[in-house]
Amino acid sequence: MAWRRACGRTDVDDGEAMQTEWEPPVAVFNVDREFFALADTCTHDESSLADGYVDGDIVECAWHFAKFSIRTGAVLSPPATRPVCAYQVRITGDDVMVDVPESGESA
Ligand code: FES
């Protein structure tokens, strides 16, 4: 795993999310000014969770409305059945840093 800068602290408003440009992409969420990071690709199909609907600490996929915990990646409602990976986040100065697998390393 390696810490990478995902964005600046002011780049994601409270209740919003952004998608990193890395492959595979990570979705960074701001929940009450606390930041969380999940694998961006929904485990049901290929939708971006950063494009989903954020309600508190839950994100609802924009395509078929599966819900995931933003804190843990757990599935909260179908049609998804598998959780998404949740990554550690730390704030360094004004940067949101995410601990992601290095290339070739599985999550
Ligand atoms: S792609 Fe997310 S619920 Fe289907």
Q: What is the pTM of this model?
A: 0.94
What is the per-residue pLDDT for 68? 98
What is the per-residue pLDDT for 102? 82
- Judge whether residue 75 has pLDDT over 70: yes
Mean pLDDT of 53-63: 97
Kindly list the distances between the CA atom of residue 76 and the CA atoms of 58, 65, 81, 84, in Å, as whole numbers in the listed order.
8, 10, 9, 11
What is the per-residue pLDDT for 107? 60
pLDDT digits (tens, 9 = 90+) for 30-53: 999 999 999 999 999 999 999 999
Kindly list the distances between the CA atom of residue 2 and the CA atoms of 8, 15, 74, 103, 107, in Å, as whole numbers in the listed order.
18, 26, 23, 10, 11
Which residue is closest in CA terms to ligand 1's atom 4? 64
What is the per-residue pLDDT for 2? 93
Which residue is closest in CA terms to ligand 1's atom 1? 45
Mean pLDDT of 78-93: 98
Strands in 58-60's sheet, in edge-to-edge order, are 53-55, 58-60, 67-69, 75-77
| Ligand 1 residue neighbourhood (C-beta within 6 Å) | 42, 44-45, 47, 61, 63-64, 66, 79-80
Mean pLDDT of 49-65: 98
Q: How many distinct helices (H) and strands (E) make up the chain? A: 0, 11
106 band by pLDDT with thresholds 50, 70 and 90: low
